[in-house]
Every structure is written in C-alpha cells, then in structure tokens.
Amino acid sequence: MADDAFADQERMRRFRDAALPHLDDVFTLARYLLRNPSDAEDAVQECYLRALRHFDGYRGPAMKPWLLAILRNVCNAEFARRGKEEVPTDYAPDDSAAEQMPMWQEPQASPENLIVRQQESATIRRLVAELPQPFREVIVLREMNDLSYQEIAAIAGVPVGTVMSRLARARAMLRSAWNAAEAAVPTPGPVTAPGVSP
C-alpha cells in the first residue's frame, strides 16, 4: 500500500514536471476558443485532470500538442452544452489610443513601423478573437502556441492541406480586418467623442 501511494506520488510528480510548463499555452488556447475567462479556467482545470488520468497511456506526441488536443475536446463538450449560441468575444474594443495608432502598414512597412507597443498586442488580440472558428483556432495554434502544421493537423483532426488553406484564409481575413482597423483611424486632430462605439 505504501508502495502504491509512493508510486502515485511519483507519477503525479512526473506529470506535473511534464505538463505544468505548458499552462500558459493551454490557457491561451482555452481563452480564445471559449471567449470567456471563467469558462477558460474551468476548461484548463478539466484538461489537466483528464491528462493526468491518461498519463499512463501517454506515449507521445510531444506534451504540448497532446495537452492542447485534450483541451480542445474539453472545449467541444462545452460547445455542445452551449448549443448554437456563439459567445461574443470579450476582448472589448479598445477605446484608448490603441485604436488610433497605425500599427502596421503594408506593404512598404519599414522596420521602425513594426516596433511593438503594448496597445498593438491588445488590438491584435481583439482582431484574432473576432475571427470565426475554425480560423481563430488555426491562428492561435500557429502564432501563439507556435505549433507546426503537422501538430495543428493532428489537434484539429484534419489533413495538413486543410491546415494550410485555413491558415491562408485566416491570415487574409486578419489582414483585411487589420487594414480596416487602420482605415478607421481618424485623422489626427480632435479626439473622437468618448462612448461612441465603432
């Protein structure tokens, strides 16, 4: 019995060492898939518990894509519960200066224009969060979770060719949204009236 308890502790320790370093990745995907912070936290918790239960049978692939695949299943169960209603993004449009700062000009962007400001990330996050599924998912897996096409294909359960076409579509959508956001930037001068939503 004591041996069992020890083996259990040891197994749990190995799992923690392998899985906890990916908590930010798991949380990020949950955040974008579920679009709601408290649902995302519940899903992350459930994902780690499920992963622990399956840890004995785990034989690869790499830990990060494995965890993200489990998380995706958890999120699918949540989608099934929610039914058809699509939860609107909770990345609130920034009414701060972020909106008004051209962050990226194409195609003659000079390196200086690519200098990143914090407001930029806020705007990028919002534009990504507004993408429809499954384009949102593929962008997050590629640009935030840094996964390869092969890993994304395995997680989404589609061929690599589908990943490539979804990513192309997603980036094209993101690019036009980005351009639109910039076009909406008012000419410098009087500040836009507060409270006016775009």
Partner 1 sequence: MNCDEFESLLHALIDGELDAGHAREVEAHAAGCSACADKLASFRAMHEAMQAAALKEAAPAHLRSRVEASLTAPASRAGAVHSFFRSSRRGFFGGFALGSALSAAVAASLVLAVMRDNQQQAIADEIVSAHIRSLQAGHLMDVETSDQHTVKPWFNGKVDVAPPVVDLTAEGFTLLGGRLDYIDGEPVAAVVYQRRKHLINLFVAQRLGASHAGALSETIQGYNVRHWSQDGLDFWATSDLAGDELNEFVQKIQAALRSS
Contact between 137 and partner 1 per CB under 8 A: no
Q: Which is nearer to partner 1, 63 or 69 (CB)?
A: 69
The whole-angstrom separation of Cα 30 and Cα 34 is 6
∠29-33-34 over CA atoms, to 5°?
Answer: 115
140 to 4, 106, 109, 111, 144: CA distances (angstroms): 40, 22, 24, 24, 5
Contact between 84 and partner 1 per CB under 8 A: no
Segment interacting with partner 1, rule: CB under 8 A, options 55-63, 92-100, 185-193: 55-63
172 to 17, 132, 139, 198: CA distances (angstroms): 39, 13, 11, 22
For partner 1, the binding residues in 62-81 under the rule CB under 8 A are: 69-70, 73-74, 76-78, 80-81
The whole-angstrom separation of Cα 163 and Cα 138 is 7
**Residues that bind partner 1 in the complex, under the rule CB under 8 A:** 5, 8-9, 12, 15-16, 20, 23-28, 31, 41-46, 48-50, 52-54, 56-57, 59-61, 69-70, 73-74, 76-78, 80-81, 103-104, 106-109, 114, 116, 120-121, 124-125, 128, 142-145, 148-149, 154, 157, 164, 167-168, 171, 174-175, 178
